[in-house]
Chain A
């Protein structure tokens, strides 16, 4: 794992910033400036009424007051509140797969940091939830500039270990997160798919805008091994000796089926699902996603 500063990749930020980040849905609050947040969030407080003036947006008319008084009043809010974004990063042992410095966890950490930075720039409040079998370590959402450092430090301080317990972590996160938050889940999702999907659905039922980033290594999709190899499970003691080329086709069918199931279930639950391969540059994957989200094409 690199140092905290390394997590903020300027090129990623620059490329992502060039996109017009327009929020697909504005729930309750707006991000100050020209750009709408790409993330859903309702975090605004009513301040006062004022008389309608030409040019005001009619949708802000307080129709209840008009009904009582036959006068047009526009609702004004005391303060624009920001979106709370919970970035949940899988810190189980399976995320440690990959060459040193380019493991899935490294990739996930960079992705989380980039997202947090983007949130902060848009006055949103990013938070971090690191989870593995040991439990959930939550860094509450904040809008302070120091939050990026908190998140980065939390990511750096954590080493991927233990079993994946994704459903428990998501259930707990769903309970602890404010309603209508944005929940970004970054994981390889190597677990029983039914409980995971159930947990993701629960997030949606609590009206959280849920986004799934599935981080995988190219080896896991291509299975590029040739010689007799003993595969040792990174999370358990299971091990198996196989001739890889004998199993490649069958393995890839199994893996493809899992990926397709997860994607389909996310689609059905109106959850954005994006697969990121560690071999591909992070900026490409992230920018691609944000672009599609802006255009409403995500899922």
Chain B
């Protein structure tokens, strides 16, 4: 027998209560001067043995009743193979331990949640008997099977095996862990599986998986002969302040002709109490500028900005750090920055014009390349003709701007598609040369191409204003916060679009002020990249967009976003793989990776399509990862996902809603895992029987007391 609340075994001392009451009552009595003592003594002498026996019986019954209640409070369980293998079902146990970043937070006991989880997992395996097989899986966004084999072996070697579970700093993905366990379960579909997940049960970890994926998991679970039961043991972090740097970036607009770009940082307080501290900017280990004071109420966040002195940057390993708290992993956020690097932009000029004001590319070049005096030259521009497009290696560029290109060949479309799928950005301006039928056929390709929608014919008329959609993208929202709008942008001619062809992957960022609110800017996610369609031209004949200050900022930010998108390969969450395309001519065939905590690794890659495709998956620590080959280096920063900072837990009902039909039990990890087993009927909870026994004993005691009283 084992106990869910062994602490309550201390209540066993209460069995002495009836005895103590019995003894105390001997002191708590009334005294009477009595005349008929002879009769009383004679009655006593005749009843003495009987009285003693009856008193003893009643005392034993009372004590047994109290004992039953005390045992019930300790919630004993009937363990043993007899219950667990009832019906001949082979049972298996999978212990899934969350090793995500949030598990490095401290518990109330001052240990990390992962240490607590190791202990809870070990105790689970120790207490559960009757399983034929056990497995131990560590998970964050990836899964690692630590052990598969005999539960007795896992229990015997528990400390050693559970010690192999290392802390990762990736984002928790419980869905992945369940999928992994289901994969194992499908190998022996006759077995009944119990999945015991030891985690801090962050809501964000569960909700980041789409409903479709959860439905697929539920279907897989129900496809098994015995639907597995899910037990979530929740480890709780200590309640205190939890400041986290949730975002760090250098806004593109701040690079535009600025002497000192700004480093933007967002700090949030995920704790339950107000948080105070200092936010500092580092370049490597060197402190840059003065720290900023942070004072945030619980649940509050705030934005901070550091002016960046480009001449002081030595390593380019920028980091914003707030003072430490119980969860240190999210206090620092890294950002790789190379002042020498520029956003590489390829301009495809479809209609060169000797008159500069009529040449769209001229206007774009003027816009994108800042004046000569600017310290930060964020962009580098190259112009080609449409015929050169399919022959150009687009992987060198972050953004390709297509200006009034009349038509695309299938080869052009294939080149563009590959570029976008790899994470590039295409900005498409239309114009008087554009053949909409060609665009619809080649670039839209029934929704499979990068064009966000099909085009109709161009229309001209009175100038119409451009305005942002309410649900416009991040750029316009940010510009709006600075008081910059698109109202001053007027357009005389633009292409109408077939609105019905705009699919869910597309967003109308801005529209015209005509009667139909025709789309002006449509953005489409395509592969890992993005295509942005301007339905007007970039030259001054159709629109004043490139000339208008707000329009210019909008254009610049849109293209700078491409840099940010492409920079995604250099800025990622811990646990996500680093994927880099490395030009053949800049590699010597060997790639070395150095990372946090003296990580050193060698990558082997084969040339593919004129470049090396490098993938490095072991990003388990937050910090900078440097990939070197020959003289070229590439710096990547891996940060703890901001989602890991939010400790808000998920509830059992939400999990049940995600996994309909699956037996789910969510309990405090301080309780034994067996509690969950009880919930699933795998172990016998004895407390109801004990309570019933106690009630029966009390009734018996009353009946016997009355009976004894009658027969005397």
CB neighbours of B34 from chain A (8 A): 97, 231-234
Report the minimum CB–CB distance from A191 to chain B (whole Å). 8
Given A190-B36, A242-B40, A250-B46, A229-B26 contact (CB < 8 Å):
no
User: Chain A residue with minimal CB distance to B31?
Assistant: A230
Question: Is the C-beta of A245 less than 8 angstroms from some C-beta in chain B?
Answer: yes
Which A residues, 185 to 204, have Cβ-Cβ distances below 8 Å to chain B? 188, 190
B516 at the interface (CB under 8 A from A): no
B35 in complex: contacting residue of A97, A230, A246, A254, CB < 8 Å? A97
Contact A220 B712, beta carbon cutoff 8 Å: no
Cβ of A68 within 8 Å of any chain B Cβ, yes or no, is: no
Hey, which chain B residues are within 8 Å of A250, CB to CB? 43-44, 46-47, 712
CB of A275, distance to nearest CB on chain B (Å): 14
**Cβ A242 vs Cβ B44 within 8 A:** yes
Residues of A within 8 A of B33 (CB): 96-97, 232, 234
Quick one: which of A175-191 are within 8 Å of B by CB? 188, 190
Number of A-B contacts (CB under 8 A): 99
Picked from A97, A188, A230, A253, the residue with its CB within 8 Å of the CB of B43 is A253
Q: Is B109 an interface residue (CB 8 A)?
A: no
State the CA gap A188–B44 with chains docked (Å): 21
Does the CB pair B40–A247 fall under 8 Å?
Answer: yes
Residue of A nearest to B51 (CB): A246
A66 within 8 A of B: no
Which residues of chain A are near B37, meaning CB under 8 Å?
A: 231, 233-236, 238, 240
Q: A97-B34, A234-B33 are in contact. Are A249 and B26 (CB under 8 A)?
A: no
State whether B26 touches A240 (Cβ < 8 A): no
Contacting residue for A254 out of B25, B43, B55, B711, CB 8 A: B43
A247 touches B29 (CB 8 A): no
| Cβ < 8 Å to A, chain B residues 567-595 | none
A14 sits at the interface (CB 8 A): no
State whether the Cβ of B459 lies closer than 8 Å to any Cβ in chain A. Answer: no
Main secondary structure of the interface of A (DSSP, over half): mixed
What per-residue 1/0 map shows which CB atoms of A91-110 lie under 8 Å from chain B?
Answer: 00111110000001000000
A231/B29 contact (C-beta < 8 A), A94-B35, A217-B35 known: no
CA distance in complex: A220, B30 (Å): 17
CB contacts (< 8 Å) of A240 on chain B: these are: 37, 40-41, 44
Give bound CA distance, A245 to B55, whole Å.
12
* Residue-wise interface mask of B (11-26) relative to A, using a CB-CB cutoff of 8 A (1 in contact, 0 not): 0000000000000011
Q: In the complex, how many angstroms separate the beta carbon of A132 from the nearest chain B beta carbon?
A: 13
Which one of A190, A220, A242, A245 contacts B709 once the chains associate, using CB atoms below 8 Å? Answer: A245
Chain B residues lying within 8 Å of A233, measured Cβ to Cβ, are: 34-35, 37
State whether the Cβ of B38 lies closer than 8 Å to any Cβ in chain A. Answer: yes
Contact, CB under 8 Å: A230 / B40: no
Q: How far is A94 from B43 in the complex, measured between Cα atoms in Å? A: 19
Q: Is B42 an interface residue, CB under 8 A from the partner?
A: yes
Is B54 an interface residue when CB atoms closer than 8 A count as contact?
A: yes
- Residues of B near A248 (CB, < 8 A) are 709, 712
CB-CB < 8 A to A254: which residues of B? Answer: 39-40, 42-43
How close is A164's CB to chain B, nearest CB, in angstroms? 9
Which residues of the partner chain A approach B632 to less than 8 Å between Cβ atoms? Answer: none
Question: What does the 1/0 interface line of B692-712 toward A look like (CB < 8 Å)?
Answer: 000000000000000011111
**Which residues on the A side are within 8 Å of B40 (C-beta)?**
231, 240, 242, 247, 251, 254
- How near does chain B come to A241, taking the closest CB pair, in angstroms? 6
Tell yes or no: B355 within 8 A of A by CB.
no
Q: Does B470 sit within 8 A of A, measured CB to CB?
A: no
Q: Which residues of A contact B35 (CB under 8 A)?
A: 93-97, 104, 188, 190, 217, 220, 233-235
A156 to chain B minimum Cβ distance, whole angstroms, is 21
Contact in complex: B32, A246 (CB < 8 Å): no
Nearest Cβ on chain A to B618's Cβ, whole angstroms: 78
Contacts of B44 in A (CB 8 A): 240, 242, 247, 250
B290 at the interface (CB under 8 A from A): no
Q: Is A19 interfacial (CB-CB < 8 Å)?
A: no
Indicate whether B391 reaches chain A with its CB closer than 8 angstroms.
Answer: no
Can you give 12 A-B contacts (C-beta < 8 A)? A96-B33, A97-B35, A229-B30, A231-B40, A234-B33, A234-B35, A235-B37, A241-B29, A243-B51, A246-B54, A247-B44, A247-B712
Given contact pairs A245-B709, A250-B46, enumerate 8 new A-B contacts (beta carbons under 8 Å).
Answer: A220-B35, A229-B32, A231-B37, A236-B37, A241-B26, A249-B709, A250-B44, A255-B36
Q: A-B pairs with the 7 shortest C-beta distances? A: A250-B43, A94-B35, A233-B37, A231-B34, A97-B35, A228-B29, A251-B43
